[in-house]
Amino acid sequence: MFGSGGRVGRAAVAEARRRGHEVTAVRRADGEVTDGAAVARLAAGHDAAVVSVYDPGARPAEFFPAVARAIAAGLPAAGVGRLVSVGLASVLPTASGGPLMDTAGYPQEWREFYLAHGAGTDTLREVAPEALDWVVLSPAGDFDHEAVPSGGYLVAPAEAGSRITPADFARALLDQIERPTLHRTHTGVASA
């Protein structure tokens, strides 16, 4: 689990352990996630990886594509065949087809960050070898850190008012590792 120190990372680690998986919880101090060799070293001996990373000290337009390149190189080198990455709802299409970030009233002060996150997914799409079965999941809107988990989720288009708890989102992440149904795509997840 790359990014195990964040809210989503902690929820994913807890859900994986609850299901009986052995988990290596990787934090920023454990290795550089933008270095393919470090990713390969940290991922060796694992079947799958979850990536939920952010570096506030890095330029997002450089960081997210660099992470995608390192993950796409490092995981297959380590023999890891499945990647479930955490994305951003802002770049997902809404039910009307346009990206959430372009809907009326959506906050624009973070637009550069939204585009950089999307560039990371685009880079993954371009450079991931066929041997790496990947999916990017995002909350369909945002996380609700105060709500009680519903115990369920559904795949959904982007919707600004949609909320999901980190625990419910972690269920989706783990289900996509144990029983993959989404491949080489980026999709939203909402509470059921």
Q: Can you say how many angstroms the Cα of residue 129 is from the centroid of all Cα atoms in its chain?
A: 18
Does the pLDDT of residue 32 top 90, yes or no?
no
Of 42 and 28, the structure prediction assigns the larger pLDDT to: 42
> Can you give the residue ranges of every domain in the chain?
7-191
Alpha-carbon distance of 71 to 151, in angstroms, equals: 30
Fold of 7-191: Rossmann fold (3.40.50)
Percentage of the chain surpassing pLDDT 70? Answer: 99
Confidence (pTM): 0.96
pLDDT (tens digit per residue) in 96-142: 999 999 999 999 999 999 999 999 999 999 999 999 999 999 999 99
The band of 28, judged by pLDDT with boundaries at 50, 70 and 90, is: confident
Q: Could you please report the per-residue DSSP string of 58-83?
A: S-HHHHHHHHHHHHHHHHHHTT--EE
